[in-house]
A and B are shown apart, each in its own frame.
Chain A
Amino acid sequence: MITDVQLPEPKTPLPGATVNSDQGLLMWISSVDHKQIGIMYMIMTLFYLFVGGLLALLMRVQLMMPENTFLAPDSYNQLFTMHGTTMIFFVLTPAILGMAVYMVPLQIGANEMAFPRLNAFAFWISFFGGLLLYFSFLAGGAPDAGWFSYAPLNQTQYSASPGIDYYCIGLLLSGIGTVSTAANLAVTIITLRTPSMKYKYLPVFVWMVFINAFLILAAFPSLNAALAMLLIDRQLDGHFFNTDAGGSALLWQHLFWLFGHPEVYIVVLPPFGVLSEVFQVYSRKPIFGYPFVVGSGIAISLLAFGVWVHHMFATGMGNTVNSFFAVSSMLIGIPTGVKIFNWLGTMYGGSIRFTTGMLFATAFLVEFTIGGLSGISFAIVPIDWQLTDTYYVVAHLHYVFLGGSLFGLFAGFFYWFPKISGRMYSETLGKWFFWLFMIGFNMTFFMQHILGIIGMPRRVYTYPNLAGYSLLNLISSLGAFLMGGSMLIFLYLLYDAIKRGKRAGDNPWDGYTFEWLTSSPPALKNFTILPPVYSFRPVHDLNHPEIGDYQKSDEEKYGTKDTD
């Protein structure tokens, strides 16, 4: 039975309500508990992951063979738009928020977020934003101008169906939710840390969420402003982006990418934090170069606001502008590269346990590096001119979003699954899932690098039977089905773990941070008593006092001691 899973429950029903809200669905709807809200974020993410994945599979069926007529061009436009929008705004963004909302209070030794009701508000407004976006299918057509909805294609004369209006409202609502949660997380980390947890002892995941909160607060307003303007254009016949009436298409691109590029780091920084936890615990070694992991995170967040024009090299802004942004885009590869070496250094000499979480983390190192290298090639302006709007871009962005963000999130999901559910999952099923997903992923997207280089444009519903196109597209489609199939194994793994999984102990992986100190799953009140913090591995200090970090100097704790 699924019902015997212990779940955190509020102690008292909804105050002033005449209905019983301490059980069942109403308990979830009325909950302000950070753990329940975190779980709801994850369920929402999983739901949209399947929906978005299904849209992608439909597109791959259409592209499986040349001159296919499975989908009409206008349905294809709606599908790729909804796929991109869903995956970025309703899968990756809520996934990182959900993990942060669940884990941050636990890792800093707090019992709640600073503003529990704001937390619930933010979740529900994002949730309804997603529903509104999908309602567009019933209201006369989904948005069809791509996830970045370029002007003037987003104007009523080119996209007459109400899809883009729903796109604006849906994303505005979820954007408000995201900003609220970011502010909430930042305040939580500033004010609710257990007294002895100094900033230099924050777990790396908390550091990344903290940096990320500021990134969200600074990046999302650009998007919200752009969406409000677009809505005014479409509903009140305004002229911000309407090029026929003196509006500017470039203004939309600037505002969108001023949000859009930081967004890439918004969905990848928390996975960086997750990976830092996963690597150190499964390698049984403290993270190598803690100050560098944190410092490079801060560097990435600052540089993130200086690179947006590399999405616009093809708009003819002149060599001076292009050169500046080419250099800044290459610069951002440095702190990211630093992190890769931090994780390699953490694995080096460790006694590694290749659980499913660790497999995803290790695969991340490879896939994300491929995505990073193809990203660097876009910073070279002439290459960008050649490859922009081809499948090479599609391959690149999927290597960073899937191979980067999603692999990191999966690593964290398997790492924290015993804590969240109180059950162990089957490693056999986990490994099947990992290998099938990983092989499917590379089959799908590695081919697209080549497709892009030989000139296949993206966002076109079909292609002629040119040399190489058919075979590469067929392999790509088969890989997509392999990924889809592996997701069914993932579902079965969840069902199996919740129904039959062994009870997990409080600390099954010998973890380092405070979430492993509570019961699995944590009770409504996370902690009653906490040990003092002397390093960034407080639970390790507690469980292994003979080799604990608390007796070491700072240089040794952070691995910055010169041993020559």
Chain B
Amino acid sequence: MEQKTLIKLIVGSEAIFFLALLMAFVYFTYVPTLNPRVATTLDLTTTGLFTVLLLSSSFTFWRAEVSFRRGQTKSLRLWLSATVVLGVVFLIGQGIEYTGLLSKQLTVSKGTFTTSFFTLTGFHGLHVLIGIIILSIVLYLAFLGDLDDPDSALLPSVGIYWHFVDVVWAVVFVVVYVLPHFLTPRAS
């Protein structure tokens, strides 16, 4: 109860933090008109694939929680491991994307678009990393057999954080990757 209330408050506070970063991004890329380079610079398909993987980790975590409540240790370990793997794969995807951009000389200091892009996605990546660390600890506990109290608030609290990280990415993905494609007038 206490843990869950605490994590909800922290997540609420974090949401405002991301909102500030997102506003900075929107301000630099959408105002006064959309920066047309956004749609061409970023790879919608590849990032879209990794986005699906990250969002499906919310599903695997939900399955882990269900197994936990039912006391099914084996499937709990399985679903938790899947969640960690999906998180790691997403970070690898982000790494590949960053390397691609950097090889095109698109660094943080290139302009306001890259500054706000790297800050927004980078802080999200940092949150995914923190989530992976927490999940790894939980996974370790699961393999030790210490996750046996079905009333424990540990897993639901971690879940609130993990789902939050996914929701933030869903919003970021829509604003940074998807919307510019709809707003850019297509060259015919």
Contacts and interface: CB of A to CB of B under 8 A. Distances in A.
B20 A240 contact: no
B59 interface: no
Most buried by A among B6, B12, B108, B119: B6
Contact of B6 (A183, A218, A222, A246): A183
B83 interface: no
Interface stretch (B44-52, B67-75, B110-118, B172-180): B110-118
B125 to A, nearest CB: 14
Interface string A205-234: 000000000000110111011101100110
A346 B27 CA distance: 49
Contacts of A220: 13
Given A115-B2, A191-B2, A232 B119 contact: yes
Interface in B38-97: none
Interface in A293-310: none
Interface in B1-31: 1-2, 5-6, 9-10, 12-14, 16-17, 19-21, 24, 27-28
A221 B13 contact: yes
A335 interface: no
Given A187-B2, A225-B20, A239-B115, A251 B27 contact: yes
B143 interface: no
Nearest to A224: B17
A534 to B, nearest CB: 26
Contacts of B108: 232, 236-238
Given A114-B2, A187-B2, A221-B14, A238 B27 contact: no
A179 interface: yes
A187 B111 contact: no
A248 B32 CA distance: 13
A178 to B, nearest CB: 11
A532 B182 CA distance: 63
A247 B119 contact: no
A183 B8 CA distance: 9
Nearest to A183: B9
Interface residues of A, number: 35
Contacts of B115: 232-233, 238-240, 247
Contacts of A114: 2, 6
A225 B116 CA distance: 12
B188 interface: no
Given A187-B6, A190-B5, A228 B13 contact: no
A255 interface: yes
B109 interface: yes
Interface residues of B, number: 25
Interface in A259-316: none
Contacts of A228: 119, 123
Given A183-B6, A187-B6, A232-B115, A239 B16 contact: no
Residue of B9, B108, B109 with highest tally of chain A CB at under 10 A = B9
Interface in B104-159: 108-109, 111-112, 115-116, 119, 123
Contacts, number: 86
A122 interface: no
A217 B7 CA distance: 12
Contacts of A224: 17
Contacts of B9: 182-183, 186-187, 217
A232 B112 CA distance: 12
A237 B123 CA distance: 17
Contacts of A240: 24, 112, 115-116, 119
Given A224-B17, A228-B123, A232-B119, A237 B5 contact: no
A142 B20 CA distance: 27
Given A179-B13, A218-B13, A239-B111, A187 B5 contact: yes
A127 B20 CA distance: 26
Contact of B27 (A115, A183, A218, A248): A248
Given A218-B13, A222-B16, A184 B6 contact: yes
A229 B115 CA distance: 9
A115 B112 CA distance: 41
Interface in A182-207: 182-184, 186-187, 190-191
Nearest to B109: A237
Nearest to A185: B9
B1 A247 contact: no
B3 to A, nearest CB: 9
A252 to B, nearest CB: 10
B20 A217 contact: no
A245 interface: yes
Given A190-B5, A217-B13, A221-B13, A245 B20 contact: no
Interface of A: 114-115, 118, 179, 182-184, 186-187, 190-191, 217-218, 220-222, 224-226, 228-229, 232-233, 236-240, 245-248, 251, 255, 258
25 contacts: A182-B9, A183-B6, A183-B10, A186-B9, A187-B2, A187-B5, A217-B9, A217-B12, A218-B12, A221-B16, A221-B20, A222-B17, A222-B20, A225-B17, A226-B20, A232-B108, A237-B108, A238-B109, A238-B119, A239-B109, A240-B112, A240-B116, A246-B112, A255-B20, A258-B20
Given A221-B13, A245-B112, 9 more contacts: A114-B2, A221-B16, A225-B20, A226-B20, A229-B21, A229-B24, A247-B112, A248-B28, A251-B27
